[in-house]
Amino acid sequence: MFNSIQLNTSYTSQHHVHVGYEIGNKIAEYLSATFTLKKAVFIVDENVHRLYKDTFIKDISGLFDEPVFCLVPEGEQSKSLALFSEIIAKTLEAKVERITPVIVIGGGVTGDLGGYVAASALRGMPLIHIPTSLLAMVDSSVGGKTGVNHSVGKNLIGSFYEPKAVFTDIKFLETLPQKEIINGLGEVIKYGMIKDENILTTLKSLPLFEPFSYSKEWEQLIGTCARIKSDIVTKDFKESGLREILNFGHTFAHVIERVRGYENSSHGEAVYMGMWGAVKLSNLLGFNIDIANLSAFRTLYDSSFHPQESLEELTNLMLHDKKVKDGSIRVIILEELGKARATGITDLSLIRESWNYIIQEFE
């Protein structure tokens, strides 16, 4: 008789996400209390390193006798097996131990790559995330997805690996380029749509076109988003059900990114456009979602979408998305504002009509 074993895959990140402003001291306290301050591996975005090497990074790395630095050039091409292997080599050559912390400082690219290094070297070293882009703060640093790209496709290599702690210091946003703030806002708006409409209200009151400057509202907003994500992944670490709702707008967005080319496409903007399609689809299915919730942010995203592909071709491209089950297209729809669920669409004319809606809005 075969006895199955219940594996515990629960995820506890919610207790370890700290959000604040100028929290360097808090991070230092945590590191001193948690690790022997001998070695540490720092995997750092190159731009962030340039901007903070004499301040934040100096303070944190100065805690350790032998900090090892691995710099990650900006851009998606850094999420490669080649750079992964280079950083692994540097890490192992430094004779690190299983208890040596891997401290990752940067945006989503550095986080995914650095997280995968931490997950893999010595079969797992303690991972500390210090996200520096808005997207990483509200999305990619929470949830344990790590990995790199392969020439066959994006994010095809990697693992789920829980960080020991995430420290979000929103001071980093003061140097983040405006277009990267707007990129991250795509996910922020998404949380407002699927979970908490107060997010949309707060966003409308913030000076989004001015250079970032600290306010309590920003801090709360980012904390709320990180908490929503953390709550969802706590309940569903390996993406079996609930976690799917985080893909609201994304089934459309992945096609937009693909036909535009990943290099010329901002993820947040593609998600924003994709959410127009998802709202339209929800309404075609009989729900009543006010598009004003999205159009309020239309001026943030001024670029257009003129695909060569026909509505039919765009729809067919969704069939290649990994979110396809049983020949139907799996998408996230809203039953009401703040209430999302996954559904399989077999009547593809509804999807074509949703594409048409996106193209008309963003022509």
**Residues within the interface to ligand ADP (CB under 6 A):** 45, 47-48, 51, 74, 106-110, 132-133, 135-136, 140, 172, 175-176, 180, 183
Residue with tokens 């693992």: 159
Residue 108 or 163 with smaller CB distance to ligand ADP? 108
Give the nearer residue to ligand ADP in terms of CB position, either 82 or 92: 82
Residue 200 three-state SS = helix
Token output for 303: 């670029």
Shortest Å distance, C-beta 70 to ligand ADP: 15
In this complex, which beta carbon is closest to ligand ADP, that of residue 31 or of residue 136? Answer: 136
Catalytic residue (one of 79, 171, 190, 254)? 254
Please identify, using beta-carbon distances, which residue of 47 and 315 lies nearer to ligand ADP: 47
Exposure of 144 in the CB half-sphere (CA atoms within 13 A): 26
Helix (H) or strand (E) holding 344: strand 339-345
Query: Which helix (DSSP H) or strand (DSSP E) does residue 56 occupy?
Result: helix 56-61
187 is catalytic: yes
Catalytic residue list contains 145: yes
- Among the listed residues 250, 258, 280, 330, the single catalytic one is 250
Q: Which of 39, 79, 129, 145 is catalytic?
A: 145
Among 171, 190, 243, 280, the active-site one is: 243
Distance CA 119, CA 117 (A): 5
**Closest distance to ligand ADP from the beta carbon of 263 (Å):** 12
Token representation of residue 262: 């990943």
Whether 50 is catalytic:
no
Cα angle value 159/164/170 (rounded, 5°): 100
Residue 267 falls in the annotated catalytic set: yes
Q: Any catalytic annotation for residue 129?
A: no
What three-state secondary structure class fits 3?
coil
The distance of closest approach from Cβ of residue 338 to ligand ADP in the complex, given in angstroms and rounded to an integer, is 25
Sheet holding 328-336, edge to edge: 324-325, 328-336, 339-345
Whether 18 sits among the annotated catalytic residues: the reply is no
Least Å from the CB of residue 97 to ligand ADP: 28
250 annotated active-site: yes
User: Which residue in the list 267, 269, 280, 293 is annotated as catalytic?
Assistant: 267
**Euclidean distance between CA atoms 280 and 283, whole angstroms:** 5
Please answer whether residues 257 and 251 qualify as being in contact, where contact means their C-beta atoms are separated by less than 8 angstroms.
no
The answer to whether 239 is a known catalytic residue is: yes
User: Which CB sits closer to ligand ADP, 180 or 244?
Assistant: 180
Q: Is 257 a catalytic residue?
A: no
Least distance to ligand ADP, CB of residue 189, Å: 15
End-to-end CA distance of the chain: 62
Active site residues: 123, 145, 187, 229, 239, 243, 247, 250, 254, 267
